[in-house]
Structure 1
Amino acid sequence: MVQSTQAIADDRLIVGLDLPDRAAAQAMVELLGDSVSYYKIGFQLALAGGLPLVRELADAGKKVFLDMKLLDIANTVEKGVESALGLGASMLTIHAYPQVMRAAAKAAQGTDLTVLGVTVLTSMNDADLTEAGYSVTVSELVAQRARQAQEAGIGGLVASAEEAGAIRNIVGPHMALVTPGIRPAFASADDQKRIVTPADALARGASHLVVARPVLRAQNPREAVAAILAEMR
């Protein structure tokens, strides 16, 4: 059966539950109801008792993007990926180092879990990379990690939509490309340095968009979601 334009757009929007505790996250999920089918759980919520919410959401028919940005020795990464599988996550982030990506790909092989390599955080620009000791630009490092991700066999990447087009040229049409730092027309940039609108992100090759503050801080979060979906369509 062919999905409707609305269903496709809804499945590509991931709302970040960047909230202080599980109760606040559950309240937001209840408020958003059937307007959102995909949620992100990151460090803030996970470390505040939010990990069991991954299974709750999965059991309720929602998808969960577990944004843990794993970076460790290969064996530890493999075990972490196995734990994410046990929770019912649909996506899991790791840092896009070759050894880490190979270990994660091995652990996720044959499952429905999409492992995503984080290229360069959307809060960082060329000056930030220089300060961190890199001698390449953001675009150069993103391209290098995209090639390495494809070689490692992971399911996708996390990158700014500014780099989405270049990444698509490297990895082709099938890998997932998740773009945070999305700011709809009605929202402010906050602390993000490499941001675009929902429509622009999709046009550049993104497969999924992550939006948190423009929804969580809205006077009416359901209306904010509807506005974002309208921009995406």
Structure 2
Amino acid sequence: MMVLPKVYVALDCQTQEEADNLVSKLPAGKVGLKVGKELFTAIGPDWVKKQVAQGFSVFLDLKFHDIPNTVAKAVTSAAKMGVDIVNVHASGGTEMMSAAKDALKPFEKPPLLIAVTVLTSMSDADLAEVGIQLTAEQQVLKLAKLAHQSGLDGVVCSAQEAKMLKSSIGTSFKLVTPGIRPANSAAGDQKRVMTPAEAIEAGVDYMVIGRPITQAGDPTAAITEILSSIGE
């Protein structure tokens, strides 16, 4: 199994200049890059390939959710870019997730394929609004089990659900968590948050951290402090 960095920095940028400036302050090998819809839509796959070539592990966070054939082709394209983690929405169902997993079988070193369960910005009330009568925690567990049945490597979840998922599904099932905030930083728009040390203790495998690093006066120092807090 490939060894990936514990921390992925969320590159919430809209221009290549902004992204390049931020990446220049980050240590390749020690942290990975999380490229989401905002940045990918702005500057595309060539920029991602360049970061991979420069030694960065990339989590391509595009949350594919479509008919099975389309999602299978999308994750194939992601794998060809050389990214290490790619994700789909678990709410797309087992047929879609299984098709995505099967599409990665021809690759010698396929990326981790993980599923998004419930967005960390969503509360129980938000779920009820769209017709889901389960609590956020119950829905996370239901979708995580579907992802596991479909052969996926893990899920994106809140760190607060990590212990439940590890005990219910097993320790080899990877957990990737946004909403991680060092003790001295603001929660922002995340509703279910945890510190890096708490997250690792709860069983989180990889954490996505944005503003506490990207908006720090010294991003490198912020990373060093976070890595030391989790014994890296």
Residue 33 of structure 1 aligns to a residue in which SS? coil
Residue 182 (structure 1) shift: 0.3
Instruction: Indicate if the aligned counterparts of 1:16 and 1:212 stay in contact, CA closer than 8 A.
Output: yes
Distance 1:163 1:130 in 2: 19
Residue 35 (structure 1) shift: 7.1
Distance 1:35 1:42 in 2: 20
Distance 1:38 1:110 in 2: 24
| Superposition pairs of residues 73-84 of structure 1, within 5 angstroms | 73-84=67-78
**Alignment partner, residue 172 of structure 2:** 174
AA of the residue aligned to 2:147: A
User: In the alignment, is residue 100 of structure 1 matched against residue 96 of structure 2?
Assistant: yes
Distance 2:199 2:44 in 1: 29
The answer to which structure has the higher helix fraction is 1
**Alignment partner, residue 17 of structure 1:** 11
**Alignment partner, residue 69 of structure 1:** 63
* C-alpha RMSD of the superposition: 1.5
**Alignment partner, residue 159 of structure 2:** 161
Q: Give the share of equivalent positions with the same residue, in percent.
A: 38
2:20 to 15, 26, 29: 26
AA of the residue aligned to 2:100: A
Count how many residue pairs are aligned between Structure 1 and Structure 2: 225
| Superposition pairs of residues 124-203 of structure 1, within 5 angstroms | 124-203=122-201
Distance 2:146 2:196 in 1: 27
Q: Which ranges of structure 1 fall in alignment gaps of 5 or more residues?
A: 1-7
Moved over 6 A (4+): none
TM-score for the superposition, normalised by structure 1: 0.92
TM-score for the superposition, normalised by structure 2: 0.93
- Cα shift readout 1:139-166 (whole Å, capped 9, x = no counterpart): 1111111111111001110000000011
AA of the residue aligned to 1:76: T
Distance 2:28 2:97 in 1: 34
Distance 2:201 2:163 in 1: 9
Distance 1:80 1:222 in 2: 33
Mark the CA change 1:35 to 1:224 in structure 2 (over 3 Å): closer, same or farther: farther
Distance 2:24 2:44 in 1: 15
Distance 1:61 1:80 in 2: 23
Mark the CA change 1:95 to 1:63 in structure 2 (over 3 Å): closer, same or farther: same
Distance 2:121 2:43 in 1: 26
2:32 to 27, 38, 58: 38
Q: Which ranges of structure 2 fall in alignment gaps of 5 or more residues?
A: none
1:90 to 84, 92, 113: 84
